[in-house]
Amino acid sequence: MKKWEILSMMLQGEESIMGYRNSSDRLKTQYENDLAAIIEDARGNIIAFSTLWETESPDWLELGSIWTHPDYRGRGLASRVFEACVRKYKQKNLKVFTITHNSRIVHLLKKYGWQERGTLTWDKVPFSVTCGPCDRIHENFKGTCVFKAVTSECRLFHD
């Protein structure tokens, strides 16, 4: 099995990673377009991954799919792919955000000085950008989303 297909299956098996956009072709394209960072083991298997997703706004990217293979967690690999993606968006002179409910990612973001935005300050990033396609709520109900800015639910961060 090819490394991008394996990565896609691994990402889609993670509860806290949005599955709809993580096809093997799309992940490979993200990497080829210099919007993703990977770490491979000695056999060429991807063991850590993160990507910058384009949004409706040309000024904003979404940092997403920060992932480390379960056998390699706790070794600082998520920090390394995170840092690599940060360098990419800074070189492109763009703004970036992420939405997460994963406590490990929250810890990582805070470690690097990213700021959390609550309901009163969520609008610093345009709503249409932060709440693009979602696995959790139907498009018609996004304006009154109960997950928005709730601890252990959709927490918005940006640097």
pLDDT of residue 138: 67
pTM here is 0.80
pLDDT of residue 124: 66
CA separation, residue 47 to residues 6, 41, 56, 66, 153 (Å): 10, 6, 30, 11, 26
Q: Measured between alpha carbons, how far is 152 from 102 in angstroms, rounded to an integer?
A: 7
* CB of 75 closer than 8 Å to CB of 148: no
pLDDT of residue 80: 96
Structural domains in the chain, CATH included, are 3-158 (3.40.630.30)
Which residues of the chain have a pLDDT value below 50?
none
How many other CB atoms sit within 10 Å of the CB of residue 147?
A: 16
pLDDT of residue 65: 82
Q: Which residue has the tokens 């918005």?
A: 156
| Three-state secondary structure call for residue 108 | helix
pLDDT tens, position by position, 20-50 = 788 999 999 999 999 999 999 999 999 999 9
